[in-house]
Amino acid sequence: MTNDITTNSNESSDINKQVNTSIVIGALLIILGILAIALPVFTTIFAETWVALILMSAGFAKLVYATHTRREGGFLLKILLSGLYIATGVMLLVYPRTGILTLTLLIGSFLLTEGTFELILAFRLRPQQNWTWVLGNGIVTLFLGALIWFQFPSNAPWLLGTLLGSSIVVTGISRVMLSLNARSSLPESNQAA
């Protein structure tokens, strides 16, 4: 019986430590997100460089894959595809302003397309209850896409950084809130631990 109590106490203590760690990580994400929003040009350049490095890494991985599977067919196409990835990543690194402009247009186009599809979906869901949430989402998304396009290129230096920072802040807030919810569900004797 004492062994079961000790085991339950250890498990609850471990859960409490995980919840506390999650709250700290959420708070750090909020701080980093606020910094990203406060320094949007720096964050935009960082995001563009990150995309370039990811593309280059993917290109080199595809190149290795192509050489390992050269007897299975499609070798030339695999090499060309890896070259495209690598060349695109290098171009983003060498010409960051062009990369930022391109990524901004891609995000604007994506939001316009998503907003249009959300509006179509909303009207298909119209007989259902709460269909207006989908409609509202479509309108806001379409508005954001149009805003990006109509303010282009003046918004390019700060847009990616602001969006990334906002996403990080929301992620941090949701993590903290979920962790606080988990903490409130713990027995009271373990919350102080």
pLDDT digits (tens, 9 = 90+) for 172-190: 888 888 888 877 776 665 5
Asked if residue 3 belongs to a domain, the reply is no
Confidence tier at 193 by pLDDT (50, 70, 90): very low
Mean pLDDT of all residues in 148-154 = 88
Q: Which pTM was predicted?
A: 0.68
3-state secondary structure at position 54: helix
Mean pLDDT of all residues in 2-21 = 69
Reported as half-sphere exposure (CB side, CA atoms, 13 A), residue 24 has a value of: 6
Only one residue has tokens 């954001």, namely 144
Q: What's the domain count of the chain?
A: 1
Asked if residue 4 belongs to a domain, the reply is no
Asked if residue 26 belongs to a domain, the reply is yes
User: How many residues appear in the chain?
Assistant: 193
Full domain range(s) for residue 117: 17-186
Asked if residue 10 belongs to a domain, the reply is no
No. of helices (H) and no. of strands (E), the chain? 7, 0
Asked if residue 12 has pLDDT above 80, the reply is no
Nearest Cα neighbor of 139 from 154, 121, 127 is 121
Asked if residue 132 belongs to a domain, the reply is yes
Alpha carbon distance 134, 1 (integer Å): 53
3-state secondary structure at position 153: coil
CB count within 10 Å of CB 86 equals 18
